Amino acid sequence: MKCSVCSYGDELVLSFASVLKQPYLQRRVFRELVKEGVKIKIESNGVLNENMS
């Protein structure tokens, strides 16, 4: 699992790279951000997106 973070202005981008089949950690991170009221947008290279609210 690798994660990179980049921010500029009022935007923060998280990028995950993993050889794991299931994105459990990524889901947890994004769910916690949503619980804190952070608006998120998920982009993927093929993994199905799900509603995080």
Q: What's the rounded Cα separation, in Å, for the pair 4 and 26? A: 12
Q: How far is CA 41 from the centre of its chain?
A: 8
Q: How high is the pLDDT of residue 21? A: 81
Phi, psi torsion values for 21, nearest 5 degrees: -70, -40
d(CA 23, CA 42): 13
Summarised one tens digit per residue, pLDDT across range 2-45 is: 999 999 999 999 999 888 888 889 999 999 999 999 999 988 87
The sign of the torsion formed by the CA atoms of 45, 28, 2, 10 equals positive
Answer positive or negative: Cα dihedral of 32, 33, 39, 44. negative
